[in-house]
Each structure stands twice: as C-alpha cells, then as structure tokens.
Structure 1
Amino acid sequence: MNRRNATGGTAATTAAVFGEVLKHHREAAGLTQEALARKVPCDRSHVARVEAGTRVPQEGFAKACDELLGTGGVLQRLWGRIDWYPEVEHPDWFERRAQMDAEAVVLREYQAQVMPGLLQTADYAQALFARRLASVEEVEQRVTARLSRQRRFLIPDGPLYLAVLDESCLRNVVGSAAVMRDLYAHLLRLGRNPNIRVQVVPADRPELDRPDTSMSLIKLPDGHEWAYSESLDRGHFNDDPAVYARHSRTYDLLRADALSARDSAALIGDMMEGYGDHGQTRPQRGDLDKEQLQRPRRRRLHRGGAHLDEEQLQRRQRRQLHRSSPRYPRPRPRP
C-alpha cells in the first residue's frame, strides 16, 4: 500500500492531522487519554504523543481506536495514506540489513536478551536506545529508523515473519512496568496477524540447542538466502549454502521444541497480567514463575474438555477446609 501523502504534505504535518482526528473522535466519545489508553491497551503518554503528532502509531493502534471510538475505519484509512518515514537514516553498518528487510519474502529470527527490532514498540525502543545514546535527538532518530522497518511486516499481507524468542527477551525489563506491559499487549496483537508467528523458548529447558547468538535467516525474492548476526555495532552476513543450511537446521529444531504460538501467547498474557495496571510493582519472579507454569497447564486441560483443573482445584480446597476444621470424636458402636 502506498503511504505517500497525496497532497504532498510533510510527514510532520500529516502526523499532526492524524493526531487531531484522533483527538476529535476521542473527545466526541467522551473519553480521556487515560481512558482510551486503558482500552487499547497502551500507555497514556503514547496517546498523548500520537495526538501531538510526535509519535508514530502502529496500524494496530489505529485499528483499535477505530473500533473503540466507532469511527467507521477513518483512522486506519488515514494511517495508510500518511508517509510516516519520509527520511530515515540507519547506522552505516546496519543499512544493508535494512535494505534486505525492505525486500525479504520470508524472515525467520531467533532472539535472546532483548526483543527483536521488528517486534518492539516505540517506547521500548526509546528506552533501549536511551541506555547508550546521550542525545535525545539521536535517540528519536534511531527509534524512527527502527519503526520504519516494521511497516511492511505488520500489514495483513506482509512477508512471512517467524520469531522465536528466548524467554529472556520477555524477562529482561527495559524502561518501566508500563513499557513492558505495552510490549506484551503489542506482541499479542501481532500474533493475530496471519503472516506473523511468535514462539517462546522456555528458560527451564537447558537441554535445548540454542544458537550462540541472535540470528536472522532471510530469503529474498530471487531465492537468495542469507544468514545474519550481529556483534557490537557490526553486522555479519553469510550466504554460504552450507552455513545457511546448518543455521536453518538449528533454527527449525529449536522452533519445533519451543512453546507453540498459542501457548506462547498464553505465557505472554500471564506476564502482562503480572504487571497489573501501569506503574504497578512487578511481582516476585519466583511467585510469577509458578503461576505462569500452572496457568498454561490449566488452560490446556480446560481446552481438552475434561475441566480437570476446576475439579482438582475444588478437591484441594475441600481438603484444605477439611484439614483446617476442628475434629470431634466420632461415636463408635459398643460391642
């Protein structure tokens, strides 16, 4: 879809127009920025920045707002007509990879430690870059460049994108609790796209053969296949068929051993619930891990139709009540 502004306006102008339209419909619906943010869900500051024309929204955000505000699809259509990234500059060492993302027909990724760029939210990317970049302007430029790569993958008919995430990507906190909660909600929305699958490699499976580093397997329109990995401020490309085949085999086996897309979504949803409302303190990891291990298991039993989880829970509750109740001597028949 062509996102160039037909009137020839600048991206800043059209982004401000989008923000004004959103604000108009939000106020007409009688919602505050915070109320709309809770329903999307996202952070209130994200709504404020989009309305101010200083933050690029995802298409999913526009679609969610259309549904919540009853606009008849106005925001999503407007989003599709705006050139959000008229001038984007990637770091020199990353430019080649960005060009491949713009052409790829299939992208398979394994990521450890932090969320891959194609799945990051604006706030997550901003918090990540702010760790090592001193200039606010440079941080914003890098965030804009990162989000520009996502656009073609996030549309319904986008390239096939398979992401296998080590659980550390979800556990490592970047920014704040609100940033992480928004990230989890973003992942759940993306997982519903027909061209995107997100799977998690659980941390309690040390026997799994994880790659030594994060990697991407890229297939271009001409059939050419590339393996890509990164070191500090440097990208590494390899199109040797033998090397690609070896990495591809490792990736396919790991993806087969990872949680299914459905169970991965359940885990992500549980982690999002663990953060509660924005700004709420995160539960202790030990307590959260136990609950996360139990919830997917109960869900699977429930989907199987046996409802064993409910019966087992009721039985445990009855046993606990029985054990805690006072004991009375039982009358015995005399001989």
Structure 2
Amino acid sequence: MGSERQERMKALGARLRGLRADAGLTGAVLAQRAGVGQPTVSKVENGRMVPSADVLGRLLGALDLDESAAREVRDLLAAVEDAPDNVEASDGNALAGSVLDEAVRSARLVRSFQCIVLPAMLQTAEYARHVFESASNSPPEAVGRAVAARVERQSVLYQPGRESVFVLTEAVLRTWPGDPALMLAQFDRLLAVDSLSTARLGVIPWRRAVPVMPRHGFTLCDQQAVVVETFRGERVVDDPVEVAAYEETFSRFEEAALFGIELREHLIRVMHEFRALAGFTTR
C-alpha cells in the first residue's frame, strides 16, 4: 500500500480522468484546451503528479464544469496537499475515521442512514471541518488531516461497480454549523451526488412519520458490517444477526424517504430558505 498522499493523488487523478471521459475528450485535446502539456495531463490522471492550483484551474476550465463539480475536484486537491507523506505519519487519532475509511473503501455497497449530521461521504470540506472541530479539542493540524481523509474517502462515490445509498431525516438538512452560506454549498454538493449513477439520495420529510425512532446514524458496508460513529470514536458491528437487524431498519427508513424528482424539489425548497437566511434574493 502506498502512502496516504499517494492514495489521494490517485483519487484526484481518477476523478479528473472520469470527468474528461464524461466530456468526450482525449488527453491531448484536454491538454490543448487547457494550455498545458499532454504529459502533465497524463501524470495528473495517473496519480504521479500534484497539479498546482493554476494548472488545476486550467483543467477545470477546459472541462467546462459547473461550480459544484469544480469544487469537488478542488477539495480532492486540498486533500492531497494536507496528506502526510507516509502511512506512519498518521497519528491514529479517532478523528481520522480510519475504521470507517477502510470499511467504505473495501465495500461495493454502502448504505448510510443519518438523523442529525450529514453522512461523511456527502460532507463538503468546510462542513466536515465544523464536525471535527466541534467533537474534539484536537489541534488544527489534526483536524486538517481528518478533513482531508474525509474528502478523499468520497472518491469511492465515482467508482464504477460501487453503489451508495443515503437516507437522511429532514432534521439533517436543518441542523447546520457555521453560517447559511456554508449550507448553500452543501446543498449544491447533495444535488450533485443525487445526479450520479452510482449513488441514491433520499430524505424523510417532516410531514411523514418515521417508521422507527432513530437513535443514531449508521453505515452498512456490504452485508458484512455496520459502522456506528460516536463522540468517542467508531464502533464496528459484524455479528450477522445485528447486521441483519440494521439492514431491516435501513430498508424501513428507505421506504419512507423521498427520492428522484420529489427529493430534488424538496432540497431546492429548503435551499431557498437558507438563501433567505443568508440574505440572498431567491428566484
């Protein structure tokens, strides 16, 4: 296994390569449009070179990405820059989320239910920073590493052959850190994830009764384990009977949730409320 920094470089490269493929461009055409050398594009996409902010900006401009997608790629670059150069540099602190990281990376099917905080795989870097800062008195550098790890973990959302399903209560959308502008960026992120072919996002609105009173959030990794995040760290449950119980509970939450067009309309309605809180004019 390579260093943490190398793994994040590969994630950044894979995302850029996927975006280029989606745009129907060859590496040579992208390089020409961006005004960079073709070897640069090749090295970045293969995780052998960290692009400067300027080079990344040129590539994003040439791909003609919307702001949400461009922000995701910039977050991946930030994750690379914040990563320690070797595996041993990680301090093993629970903030790093190492248990859930490994469980999610190895799973082909990830199902996450949350009732207060957004699932880790959906958080923007700024939202994640608030989550970590509020949960611990760790030094800023430890929080920075934890945020970077969280952003890097999200690369699995884009990998073919994987499926991710997220179910949230509406309380998650309305429990917010920082300021309303932070949440506007977060809603952009949710809408972008909902458009992926590899992910499904659902919300249980307040107008519907929950089928089970939620006690905590949890993440199912395949049919083998469930990870529960707490204030003190992470707990992994791999007993087949307990995992099956969590699967049944998740299915009940999933049946109560809005998906597709209804979900997007609901997100946009709540987003307009945050725009009003932030002092923006809604349209």
Task: Tell me the alpha carbon deviations over residues 130-169 of structure 1, each in whole angstroms, 9 at most, x when there is no partner.
Answer: 334463322211111111211122x152521000011111
Task: Tell me the alpha carbon deviations over residues 215-247 of structure 1, each in whole angstroms, 9 at most, x when there is no partner.
Answer: 11111xxxx611221332232222222211121
**Equivalent in the alignment of 2:152:** 148
Which TM-score applies when normalising by structure 1?
0.59
CA distance in structure 2 between the partners assigned to 1:282 and 1:165 by the alignment: 27
**Equivalent in the alignment of 2:228:** 229
Q: How far did residue 92 of structure 1 move?
A: 4.5
CA distance in structure 2 between the partners assigned to 1:58 and 1:14 by the alignment: 16
**Equivalent in the alignment of 1:330:** none
**Equivalent in the alignment of 2:72:** 58
Q: How far did residue 116 of structure 1 move?
A: 1.0
Q: Which of these residues, 202, 205, 208, is aligned with residue 208 of structure 2? A: 205
CA distance in structure 2 between the partners assigned to 1:144 and 1:27 by the alignment: 24
CA contact (8 A) 1:211 1:250 kept: no
Mapped pair 1:110 → 2:104: no
How does 1:239-318 map onto structure 2 within 5 Å?
A: 239-276=238-275, 279-280=278-279
CA contact (8 A) 1:108 1:216 kept: yes
Local SS of the residue matching 1:211: coil
Task: Tell me the alpha carbon deviations over residues 270-313 of structure 1, each in whole angstroms, 9 at most, x when there is no partner.
Answer: 22222338942799xxxxxxxxxxxxxxxxxxxxxxxxxxxxxx
How does 1:1-335 map onto structure 2 within 5 Å?
A: 2-3=10-11, 14-15=50-51, 17=52, 19-23=53-57, 40=67, 57-59=71-73, 85=83, 87=86, 89=90, 91-92=93-94, 94-131=97-134, 132-133=136-137, 135-153=139-157, 155=158, 157=160, 159-219=162-222, 225-276=224-275, 279-280=278-279
**Bigger proportion of residues as helix:** 2
Local SS of the residue matching 2:160: coil
Question: Residue 139 and residue 201 in structure 1: after superposition, are their counterparts in 2 closer, same or farther (change >3 A)?
Answer: same
Task: Tell me the alpha carbon deviations over residues 91-147 of structure 1, each in whole angstroms, 9 at most, x when there is no partner.
Answer: 358423211111111011101111111000011112222334463322211111111
Local SS of the residue matching 2:106: coil
Q: How far did residue 208 of structure 1 move?
A: 2.2
CA contact (8 A) 2:219 2:226 kept: yes
CA contact (8 A) 2:80 2:148 kept: no
Q: How far did residue 204 of structure 1 move?
A: 3.2
CA contact (8 A) 1:214 1:229 kept: yes
Local SS of the residue matching 1:14: coil
Question: Residue 273 and residue 92 in structure 1: after superposition, are their counterparts in 2 closer, same or farther (change >3 A)?
Answer: closer
Q: How far did residue 195 of structure 1 move?
A: 0.9
Greater relative contact order (Cα < 8 A, sep 6+): 2
CA distance in structure 1 between the partners assigned to 2:159 and 2:86 by the alignment: 25
Q: How far did residue 26 of structure 1 move?
A: 8.8
RMSD between superposed Cα atoms in Å? 3.7
CA contact (8 A) 1:166 1:202 kept: yes
Identity of aligned residues (%): 21
Which TM-score applies when normalising by structure 2?
0.69
CA distance in structure 2 between the partners assigned to 1:264 and 1:210 by the alignment: 21
Local SS of the residue matching 1:58: helix
**Equivalent in the alignment of 1:317:** none
CA distance in structure 1 between the partners assigned to 2:166 and 2:225 by the alignment: 16
Question: Residue 41 and residue 118 in structure 1: after superposition, are their counterparts in 2 closer, same or farther (change >3 A)?
Answer: closer
- Letter of the aligned partner of 2:93 in structure 1? P
- Letter of the aligned partner of 2:246 in structure 1? H
CA distance in structure 1 between the partners assigned to 2:214 and 2:229 by the alignment: 13
User: How many positions carry a matched residue from both structures?
Assistant: 234
- Letter of the aligned partner of 1:250 in structure 2? T
Farther-moved stretch of structure 1 (197-206 vs 172-181): 197-206
CA distance in structure 2 between the partners assigned to 1:158 and 1:27 by the alignment: 29
CA contact (8 A) 2:170 2:204 kept: yes
